[in-house]
Amino acid sequence: MVTVQPVTDVLFLVGKLTIGWLGDRDEAMQRLGVPWLWDAPLHVIAREVMDGSGHGEPFKEISLRDVCAGLRFISPGGKDRLRASAGRVHPTQLQTMRQLTDASARLLEQLWQAAPAGRADPAGGQAAAPSPRMRNESPQNTLQRAR
């Protein structure tokens, strides 16, 4: 899950969800035991919730400023990338659900695993140094290697 930081328009990776169930609103309400859910074409429930092992991944705030222009999406219509300028992304580009290519998904997984839980620093950088394997590599090189 991603969001764009207000004012700076920097894209942040903030959540990871491993899908345990995917379906309609009525069945989601039944599975979760709740009387109401918002209207949407699809609802998902985290794997950890479905199997009773927990509540999902902790919140993280990972700046994607250096990699957002290189992210690619599966797009039959040819809109396979975000329009980014100097690491900034207009939030309206996130109004449609998109599916990452395998290479872009691997890159975000690497960034996710390297980052601690919690918020990034106020300047929009990472909350902590990347893992030793990634430390000497630029995000663009990591994306190329992930492909």
Q: What is the pLDDT of residue 98?
A: 86
Burial 102-129 (b: 16+ CB within 10 A, else e): eebebbbebbeebbeeeebeeeeebeee
Radius of gyration, alpha carbons of the chain = 17
Q: What is the pLDDT of residue 134?
A: 38
What separation in angstroms does the CA of 18 have from each of 34, 72, 128? Answer: 21, 20, 24
Q: What is the pLDDT of residue 33?
A: 94
Q: What is the pLDDT of residue 133?
A: 39
List the structure tokens of 34.
Answer: 């709740």
Q: Is the pTM of this model over 0.75?
A: no
Low-confidence ranges of the chain (pLDDT < 70): 120-147
Residues with Cβ within 8 Å of 97's Cβ and at least 6 positions away in sequence, in order, are none
Q: What is the pLDDT of residue 45?
A: 92
Q: What amino acid is encoded at 88 in this protein?
A: R
**Smallest Cα–Cα separation from 21: which of 3, 43, 4?**
43
Q: What amino acid is encoded at 37 in this protein?
A: L
Q: Which helix (H) or strand (E) holds 129?
A: none
Residue 35 class from Cβ within 10 Å (0-12 exposed, 13-18 middle, 19+ buried)?
exposed
Distance separating alpha carbons of residues 109 and 87, to the nearest angstrom = 19
